[in-house]
Chain A
Amino acid sequence: MSHRPSSSEPAPQAGDPVGQAERRRPAKVTLLDRILGRVPAESDELEQFLETKTAEGIQEMAPRERSNRRELTVERGGSVLRLPEGIQLDSSDIDLEAPEDETMILNLGPSHPSTHGVLRVMVELDGETVLRAKPVIGYLHTGMEKTAEELMYHQGGTNVTRMDYLSPFFNELGFALSVEKLLGVEVPPRATWIRMLMCELNRISSHLLWLATNGSDIGAINMLIYGWRDREMVLAFFEKVTGLRMNHNYIRPGGVAADLPDGWRDDVLALCEAIPRRMDEYDRLLTGQPILQKRLQGVGPLEAATAIQLGVTGPLLRSTGVAWDLRRDMPYLAYEDVDFDVIVGTEGDCWDRYAIRFNEIRESVKIVRQIADMMPPGDFRTQDKKVTPPPRGRIDESMEALIHHFKLYTEGFRVPPGEAYVPVESPRGESGCYIVSDGTSRPYRMHMRAASFANLQALAPLSRGALVADAIAIVSTVDPILGDVDR
């Protein structure tokens, strides 16, 4: 931590009324001034500025006494800290009462490859042991929830798809399902199955990228290249279907934007052929490798009770042994009709999280194969005229169709007043969209329950007592996507 507010005010110089007056003058320092460095350097004004601007103080680590008591309550669930050698570490072994001048506060990030974006983690270190960790976020905050209030429902997809940029389909799906719930629109079966197909492929691409970055974080650099390469195969299919590699705006309220292109089945089956074979290769490359095992096994264990209390979902929760997957436990789309396994861990350590994501790719391939066989024919979007524009051909023939099309795109469709929350199981956990409607064509309030945002809360208890190098492995296996965290 760079600045600690100093309590000792420099004594006002007696007999220097000019200097004193200048100090007393309420400094009108804007944010821009601070960025450009136009703040007087010699005084504590910057400190005071930060202190007084907000009554709640600056974002920094709380005093040790206060934060210890509080943080220990967080760990009420009683997570067991384990050393890599398999020796259980009692949390009382960590010297929390170490004098402050023997510890060091270090900022990891905000701009570092291992933080997967712009995450800053403040860690207090005693030697190489992490005493406390605090994630500082907000570097990617762009006010997307405020933007959503300005966009009509048919435009909303372009906004939400940019939140968790590695799993755009899940953002779009949550948004679309939520709007459809308010509208009461029924989506044709083909649209539902197309959505499932895209989501499962997206889960594969997201986990592949995780495998790649996780490899680079803990020293298996070759995996970085392989993971990106294989993800690109999936993205090429996305591009063929939606026109874009990322940020597709493909799943829209009422269905999907376009039908699958000709030959989609061959492409999908080719992916289903290639990916499992690659996974077997990576299994040989990584799983049996003693260095990787040492880096992951027993590192950052999480107890089930702690995970539940922290609201942690997704692979992070399943690694603790809680078999909770929304696709199975609270099914949406048509997940009841496909057969798949929910992968569960036992120890809740980094190794389990690695194994779960690894095997979830295989499960998703299994689901994709079934979808390719069971894809029903029919419409790819609802024929409800309220939501869906008339087909292009009709616009040339019919004045009403032209007016209808024009009104739909200038005024949008109105959604009945009410509120709805629909969650989906994204690669990172429960991602849900809460929409409050006031009966107009724009959401009155749109909130995304971001899985990464909640999962990040597990970072502090997980890295407590770990080594700095292990903290990197922990950040990596928590897998926060900062676009999703900051929105």
Chain B
Amino acid sequence: MSEPRNTPDSTETEGTAGTEGTGVGSEIPVSLHGCPVDRRSTDRSWVVHCNRADYLELCTALKADGCAMPIGVTGVDYLTHPGRDLPEGISAERFEVVVELLSLRAHRRVRVRCQVPAGDPHVPTLFDLWPGTENHERETYDMFGIRFDDHPDPSRILMPEDWEGHPLRKDYDTGHVPVRFKEAAP
């Protein structure tokens, strides 16, 4: 098995910068509006971590910075994940709301990863900043049960209205059909 990490722009390269904070390239900031930037960010794609309290403030500031286009909002349920690499000051929670933003002028993507606790999963809506997050937030609610406060239409979007549960949660059982081999019957 050969060592696979050989691309220069690989986001997974570790050890390029031993000291935290200097980052991989000089262009990448250590933090954005008080929120830590992931050390694996590349020049064209920054990843910012935040807690729920800073979420709306960070997104508002990012919009003011020129991230004019909302690419998408989605969620991740880290219930059974063995452990994430999060920067200091960010406490790992079960859910993460991932917002992908694009700055057309700077040709740069910014991804916001917001920690959302399992007990009461809700975050403020970004509808008032970018109306284009409407469908994505509805989908995230539908799939993960994360509520978006003040969303204009907080209903399910893909699943039937009377569906119980949120399918992309890790504790949502998909069920299975046992594989029956020939002559396995008694």
Interface flag for B81 (CB, 8 Å) = yes
Given contact pairs A53-B164, A182-B12, enumerate 10 new A-B contacts (beta carbons under 8 Å).
A183-B4, A184-B7, A184-B13, A308-B104, A387-B4, A417-B84, A420-B11, A430-B71, A432-B71, A438-B81
The residues in A between 414 and 467 inclusive whose CB is less than 8 angstroms from any CB of B are: 416-421, 423, 430, 432, 434, 436, 438-439, 444-445, 447, 449, 453-454, 456-457
Q: A278 contacts the other chain (Cβ, under 8 Å)?
A: no
User: B157 in the interface, Cβ–Cβ < 8 Å?
Assistant: yes
Which B residues are in CB contact (< 8 Å) with A309? 68-70, 130-132
The B interface is mostly helix, strand or loop, or mixed, namely: loop
* A137–B132 touching, CB < 8 Å: no
Q: Name A302-331 residues within 8 Å CB distance of B.
A: 308-313, 322, 324, 329-330
Indicate the member of A54, A150, A487 with the most B CB atoms within 10 Å: A54
A-B contact count (CB 8 A): 159
Q: Give 8 closest A-B pairs by Cβ, nearest first.
A: A311-B132, A53-B162, A184-B5, A310-B132, A70-B152, A184-B10, A141-B158, A74-B131
Q: Which residue of B lies closest to A34 (CB)?
A: B162
Assess A330 versus B156: contact at CB under 8 Å? Given A53-B162, A311-B72, A454-B136.
no
A469 touches B (CB below 8 Å): no
Asked if A146 and B174 make an inter-chain contact with CB atoms under 8 angstroms apart, the answer reads yes
Q: Is the CB of A386 within 8 A of B45?
A: no
Tally of B interface residues using CB under 8 Å: 61
Which residues of chain B from 74 to 116 have a CB within 8 Å of any chain A CB?
74, 76-77, 80-82, 84-85, 98, 100, 104, 107, 109, 111
- Contact between B132 and A386, CB atoms less than 8 A apart: no
- Majority SS of interface residues in chain A? mixed
Q: Is B2 an interface residue (CB 8 A)?
A: yes
* Chain A nearest Cβ from B140, distance in angstroms: 10
Which residues of A sit under 8 angstroms from B82, Cβ to Cβ?
417, 438-439
Residue in A closest to B14 when the chains form the complex, CB atoms:
A416
Residue ranges of B at the interface with A (Cβ–Cβ < 8 Å): 1-2, 4-7, 10-13, 40, 44-45, 47, 68-72, 74, 76-77, 80-82, 84-85, 98, 100, 104, 107, 109, 111, 127-128, 130-136, 139, 141, 143, 152-164, 167-168, 174
Interface check A59, CB cutoff 8 A? yes
Partner of B162, one of A31, A434, A454: A31
